[in-house]
Amino acid sequence: MFSSHHGSHSNELALEYFDFAYPLIFHRHWPSIRLALLSLPKPIALINPHSLSNKNTQEKLLQQGAVDMLRFDNEKLREDYALIQENISKSDHEFGIKRLLEQKENRRLLGTSDLVNEQQEEIDDGDDDDEDDDVNTFNQPEPVKRLDEIYKQALEQQVQSVIKGNIVPIVDDDKERDYKKMPPSWNVYTFPRSNMSRFASAKIDELGLLDYYCMDGACVLPVIALDVQPYHTVLDLCSAPGGKALNIFHNCPFIQLTCNDSDHSRSKRLTEVFTRTIPKDTLAKSVRLVRGDGCLFGEREPASFDRVLVDVPCTSDRHALATAFNVFSRKRIQERVELPTYQRKLLESAIRACKPGGIVVYSTCTLAPVQNEGVVEQAIENLALRPSNKRYHGGHKGSDPINCEIVSTKSLEKHYAYFFDFHAKTHYGSLVLPHISNNFGPLYFCKIRRIN
């Protein structure tokens, strides 16, 4: 519960808020997630294929004990870790049943055993999904009276968000996809699990280009899900600072890539990243850097892109704990409360900008369901509504209905389970949970196909 005297810095407010909200979702796993969030993140090194020192850099990283994440083929380690995860899942189920039995006994001692009939039925059915049902509704206890008004507003917003979990069709088109086949231009290095080594600062070659670019390891997953092919037109709607856009371009350089961001300083950072990693002639020929309101992109360039990545602004949970001024500042409470609405508008715009049959990948770096699955569900439901003379749910007047389906990313989770800890209780998409042994994330991503 929140303390009666809140911390004065935004990072303290963020931790206080997480300690209240996230145990309701992640239960006994929250302490380990919390520890990882408060620890140094584990980076990856995205090799620059345009650097003259490309091959030498890869050889040095291999000598230091790093592995190519995209081509890791140690099946023994994969199998061992899969067994560990299976045992953890079994333990979670047993813990859930034990907790329900303890609640039943406590209520029996208090003379309220008639209130546990529903729980008894859940135990008899052996349904282990009930432990984390609140991941979908994000229900929270009533705020205590001593809480500041700003926290009451934030909690009310979370309470009102209900994820139905059954209104969007899900297809498993990627179950036969071979994730071992990666283009030679895309190489991502990291250190094995439980190895906390750090990469040295990137060096500049004779052309003035960086030999690699470091970022959070989970950044590669939305790009893998995007499944970009040669000659695709690709949009990165909220592109700055540019890590995912670089992954897209290194993954498939034979594309036309448009990178957009609405913020001037972030757009400047995006330009710097590209000019320090890609030759000027290649950049001019294949990459378009623009600055504009992402919410309006779908109107201005409708049905124009084969692939769209929309990595939306969010509460940025790890960043919020590391900076003294962030979205959890008392001065930015309204901005935080309105984040899911803004995220939904960005996703709707991304889907509108996507060609029929094309793919949109939505991603965030928060654990909050209201910003993840909640946004995906509301956006898809909103776009499917029939057009009317009035604006609906913040949509566009007179818009034709757009139908979408979600492409399951479970096969992707299975292939990369050695490197990432995925949350097992998501209805739509995948959620990477930070873990101290491989401290990536948090990152949520969901693969969406526009049908019409």
Instruction: Please identify every residue annotated as catalytic.
Output: 365
User: Which residues, listed in sequence order, are joined to residue 260 by a DSSP beta bridge?
Assistant: 290
Q: Is 242 annotated as a binding residue?
A: yes
Q: Is 31 annotated as a binding residue?
A: no
Q: Is 241 annotated as a binding residue?
A: yes
Cα separation, 126 vs 146, in Å, equals: 40
Length of the chain in residues, anyone? 452
Cα separation, 408 vs 406, in Å, equals: 6
Q: Is 265 annotated as a binding residue?
A: no
Q: Is 303 annotated as a binding residue?
A: no
Cα separation, 134 vs 150, in Å, equals: 23
User: Which residues, listed in sequence order, are joined to residue 310 by a DSSP beta bridge?
Assistant: 362
Q: Is 165 annotated as a binding residue?
A: no
Q: How far is CA 92 from CA 79, 84, 99, 217, in A?
A: 20, 12, 10, 26
Q: Is 243 annotated as a binding residue?
A: yes
Q: Is 331 annotated as a binding residue?
A: no
Q: Which of 443, 447, 444 is nearest to 217 (CA)?
A: 443
Q: Which of 444, 346, 354, 365 is nearest to 404 (CA)?
A: 354
Omega of the bond prior to 43 within 30 degrees of 0, cis?
Answer: no
CB 282 within 8 A of CB 257: no
Q: Is 293 annotated as a binding residue?
A: yes
Chain-centroid distance, C-alpha 166: 21
Known binding residues are 238-244, 261, 293, 311
Known binding residues for S-adenosyl-L-methionine are 238-244, 261, 293, 311
